[in-house]
A and B are shown apart, each in its own frame.
Chain A
Amino acid sequence: MSGANMPLLSVEDLHISLTTDAGRFPAVEGVSFSIARGETVGLVGESGCGKSITALSIMGLLRDPLGLAGGKIKLSGQEIQNLPASQLRALRGKRIAMIFQEPMTALNPLKAVGTQIAEMFVLHQGASWREAEAKAVDALTQVKVPAPAQRAKDFPHQLSGGMRQRVMIAIALACEPDLLIADEPTTALDVTVQSEIVDLMKELCAARGTAILMISHDLGLVTDTCKRVCVMYAGRIVEQQDSERIFNSPQHPYTQGLVASLPRLGMRARHGRRRLTEIAGVVPGITSYPAGCRFHPRCTRRTEICETVVPELTALAEGSLVRCHHHG
């Protein structure tokens, strides 16, 4: 692949296993996707479907009892899944950065937020603490924190949830990474603050050419933010589509269920008064994934084949992918 077409990140046939006393279980199985430079890709799924650990594996931050069980993670064509710890650390924060769900606990309660941002410049740019603290104030200005010089001296508990998440964004973007992984960045925030944070992330990343991997359980949020969406269910990607199309032509029964369960503006005018539907059943636990298609116990379209044979990812028109025997 030539340099221009090479994706920034490509995840190929990723397997992550959970090792317990009862044995090893596949937490993530055969996940593949790629992100081009500056592209925004969403990873959607219910909690426990493996989306967060997929993100952690890209960062090289999987910890026991979770471990990489196969597959490749390539950053600009270079395999990084087996890099020695020191080389991986040099990538972390500098080329791939991550924002976490809960900005209160993700920040050290005993350190001023300015110092926590400044660490990035000390670590990756060899700045002195004095320079780094000054740069941290600039970083706070860029994430639109009012009175940044004063806020830099504040401790996390003195800031609101939205302000704390802005600090997290400032940390993540401090060294202008190529890829920003945002793991449920707005889930812990008030609804009114959520869109501010998402807009800020999009704006800052667009200006820097930073690609975003947005992880969320919220299909609406992801389609608003990202160009492309991967839907995960029980450790597998079941569908990949452009955000524009996924609402109008979801292919996998699970995605169709998700779309049908979302309230959408203008729906009543177009289709008349209808109840929102829910997907029957519950998500299976990692230790008890069903054979065949993992969605089959909850699927309205299941046939015999679904119970035994794992469906392959099938390419559809316009680059969409779906993993279903009876898609469409």
Chain B
Amino acid sequence: MAGFIIRRLLQMVPMLVAIALLIFVLFSVIPGSFATGQQDEGLGLDMAVVTRMRQELGLDDPLHVRFGKYVAQLATLDLGISFRSRQPVADMIGARMWPSLILTAAAMGFAIVIGVPLGFVAALRPGSLVDLGLMIVAVSGLSLPKFWLGILLMYLFALTLGWFPSFGYGDGGLYHLTLPAIALGVSPMALLARTTRAAVLDIMNADFVRTARSKGMNEYRVVVWHVLRNALVLVLTTIGLQFGSLLGQGVVVEKLFAWPGIGSLLVDSVFQRDIPAVQGCILVISLFFLVINTSVDIAYKLIDPRIRYN
């Protein structure tokens, strides 16, 4: 098991290098540059300034030289200096990382705690009113725009009821975290409810469930002893994929609730053509995705004895 985990972690290194290369090439071939972007305020371009900036920022070097420098930098955990704020990108991301992580984890926690049981209950009574009601909730949850849902939550729980603040990070506690976490968590919750329902329905028709019934088990035991774990294997995939992509998806909610997350840093940096910051953000988000995926693989192995990765 330890060997398996170490192997899986080492496999992440080439993946990260490939991602770094992809991001680097992508941002080198798109038109426009930070140097010209800075002058574009109706004042006309001062070519002397542009040339100086291009030299200072090393934008004149050939692509492979720049990539070499970039990877050498990354190897020392240095993500470069932001064009715009002149701060180390690593520090900028570091400041945003914790708020982003707790928001993502809280949203995912909400999605799992609500969505998986909902899907289970719906699957145990297929075609019932409970099932119908839950699935209407699930479909609505998937189709609601996050910003609109966020505004609704603000209006109800912050303005009308006054239970939570309408925006801000505060000390990062539950008081400030709850509303943005729900706004972000509703759509993965709905997806999880649907996936869980489908997985449980699938397992309920399995031969071994018929065997369990033929043993004289009541339905409660059939579900707890035989269905739960098998369904979990199927649901885990969705949990992993949702969790991984949620970190970068938070931007709308972050903007709405003035939450200092990595998603809004990324979008701001894109608009400012702050390439080092953009690269850093994408790299960190990718790393998070890889870590989650690896964790899911490890969890699979813990749950399902059939899985071998050799």
Q: Identify the A interface with B (CB < 8 A).
A: 59, 61, 85-86, 89-94, 97-98, 100, 102, 105-111, 119-120, 123-124, 155, 157, 168, 171
Cβ of A59 to closest chain B Cβ, rounded Å: 6
Q: How far is the CA of A92 from the CA of B212 in the complex (A)?
A: 10
When distances are taken between beta carbons in the complex, the residues of chain A under 8 Å from B210 are 61, 100, 106
CB B303 to nearest CB in A, in angstroms, measures 7
Is the CB of B128 closer than 8 A to any CB of chain A? no
**B216→A94 contact, CB < 8 A:** yes
Contact B216 A105 (CB under 8 A): no
Contact, CB under 8 Å: B214 / A108: no
With both beta carbons as reference points, the residue of chain A lying nearest to B211 in the complex is identified as A106
In the docked arrangement, what's the CA distance between A92 and B216, Å?
Answer: 5
B7 to chain A, nearest CB (A): 22
The answer for the CA separation of A102 and B207 in the assembled complex, in Å, is 8
Contact pattern, B 204-238, Cβ under 8 Å of A = 1, otherwise 0: 00111011111111100100011001100100000
A89 touches B218 (CB 8 A): yes
Name A85's closest neighbour in chain B (CB-CB): B218
B306 at the A interface (CB under 8 A): yes
**Known interface pairs A108-B226, A109-B306, A157-B306; A93-B214 also in contact (CB < 8 Å):** yes
| B residues near A107, Cβ cutoff 8 Å | 208, 211
Give B228's nearest chain A residue, CB to CB: A110
Say how far B309's CB is from chain A's closest CB, in angstroms.
15
B268 at the interface (CB under 8 A from A): no
Is the Cβ of B214 less than 8 Å from the Cβ of A119?
no
B304 within 8 A of A: yes
Q: Which residue of B207, B216, B218, B225 has the most chain A CB atoms within 10 A of its CB atom?
A: B216
Measured CB to CB, the nearest residue on chain B to A93 is B216
Encode contact with A along B76-100: 1 for CB under 8 Å, 0 otherwise: 0000000000000000000000000
Residue in A closest to B219 when the chains form the complex, CB atoms: A85
CB distance from B196 to the nearest CB of A (A): 17
Specify which chain B residues have a CB less than 8 angstroms from the CB of A85 in the assembled complex.
218
A123 to B216, Cβ gap below 8 A?
yes
- Asked if residues A120 and B215 are in contact (CB atoms below 8 Å), the reply is yes
How far does the alpha carbon of A85 sit from the alpha carbon of B213 in the complex, in Å?
A: 11
Shortest distance in angstroms between B225's beta carbon and chain A's nearest beta carbon?
Answer: 7
**Minimum C-beta distance from B234 to chain A (A):** 12
In the bound complex, residues from chain B placing their C-beta under 8 Å from that of A89 are 216-218
The reply to whether A93 and B208 contact each other, CB–CB distance below 8 Å, is: no
Closest chain B residue to A105, Cβ basis = B207
Q: Verify B214–A91 contact, CB threshold 8 A.
A: no
User: Could you list 9 examples of A-B contacts with CB < 8 Å?
Assistant: A59-B214, A90-B216, A100-B214, A108-B212, A110-B304, A119-B212, A119-B225, A123-B216, A171-B211
Asked whether A108 lies within 8 Å of B230 as measured between CB atoms, the reply is yes
Counting from the closest, the 10 A-B pairs by CB-CB distance are A93-B216, A92-B216, A105-B207, A93-B215, A108-B208, A155-B305, A89-B216, A98-B214, A106-B207, A106-B211
Task: Looking at the assembled complex, report how far the CB atom of B112 sits from the nearest CB atom of chain A, in whole angstroms.
Answer: 20
Distance, CA A35 to CA B303, complexed state (A): 44
CB distance from A96 to the nearest CB of B (A): 9
Residue of A nearest to B229 (CB): A110
Q: How far is the CB of B274 from chain A (nearest CB, A)?
A: 49
Interface centre among B211, B213, B221, B306 (most CB of A within 10 A): B211
Contact with A along B167-211 (1 / 0, CB 8 A): 000000000000000000000000000000000000000111011
B residues contacting A by CB (< 8 A) are 206-208, 210-218, 221, 225-226, 229-230, 233, 303-306
**Contact present for A119 and B217 (CB under 8 Å):** yes
**Contact, CB under 8 Å: A124 / B216:** yes
Beta-carbon contact of A119 and B306 below 8 Å: no
Q: Please, how many angstroms separate the alpha-carbon atoms of A120 and B208 in the complex?
A: 14
Given the contacts A110-B230, A110-B303, A119 and B207 also touching, CB distance less than 8 Å: no
Are B215 and A92 neighbours in the complex by a CB distance under 8 Å?
yes
Assembled-state Cα–Cα distance A94/B217 (Å): 11
Looking at A97, A108, A109, which has the most chain B CB atoms within 10 Å of its CB? A108
Separation of A89 and B221 alpha carbons in the complex (Å): 12
Kindly state the separation between the CA atoms of A108 and B304 in the bound complex, as whole angstroms: 11
Expressed in whole angstroms, the minimum distance between the Cβ of A111 and any Cβ of chain B is 8
Q: Is the CB of A109 within 8 A of B214?
A: no
Q: Which chain B positions have C-beta within 8 A of A109?
A: 208, 230, 304-306
In the bound complex, CA of A168 to CA of B207 (Å): 12
Residue of A nearest to B232 (CB): A110
Closest chain B CB from A49 CB (angstroms): 20
Whole-angstrom CA separation of A100 from B210 in the bound complex: 9
Which residues in A have their C-beta under 8 angstroms from that of B225?
A: 111, 119
Closest-CB distance, B223 to chain A (whole angstroms): 12
Contact of B213 among A61, A97, A111, A155 (CB under 8 A): A61
CB distance from A183 to the nearest CB of B (A): 10
In the assembled complex, the Cα of A105 lies from the Cα of B210 at a distance in Å of: 10
Distance in angstroms between the alpha carbons of A294 and B218 in the assembled complex: 39
State A92–B222 Cα separation when bound (angstroms).
14
Taking the closest CB of chain A, its distance from the CB of B69, in whole angstroms, is 50
A259 to B219: give the CA distance in the assembly, Å.
43
Q: Are B208 and A91 in contact (CB under 8 A)?
A: no
Of the candidates B213, B221, B230, B305, which one forms a contact with A92 in the assembled complex, judged by CB atoms under 8 Å apart? B213
CB distance from B241 to the nearest CB of A (A): 22
The interface residues of chain A lying within 8 Å CB-to-CB of B206 are 105
Complex: how many Å from CA A90 to CA B207?
Answer: 21
CB distance from A206 to the nearest CB of B (A): 22
Contacts of B216 in A (CB 8 A): 89-94, 123-124
Residue of A nearest to B209 (CB): A108
Most buried by A among B210, B211, B215, B226: B215
Q: Which of A90, A97, A111, A157 contacts B214 (CB 8 A)?
A: A97
Q: When chains A and B are docked, how far (Å) is the Cα of A310 from the Cα of B218? A: 41
Residues of chain B lying within 8 A (CB to CB) of residue A110: 229-230, 233, 303-305
Closest to A95 in B: B216
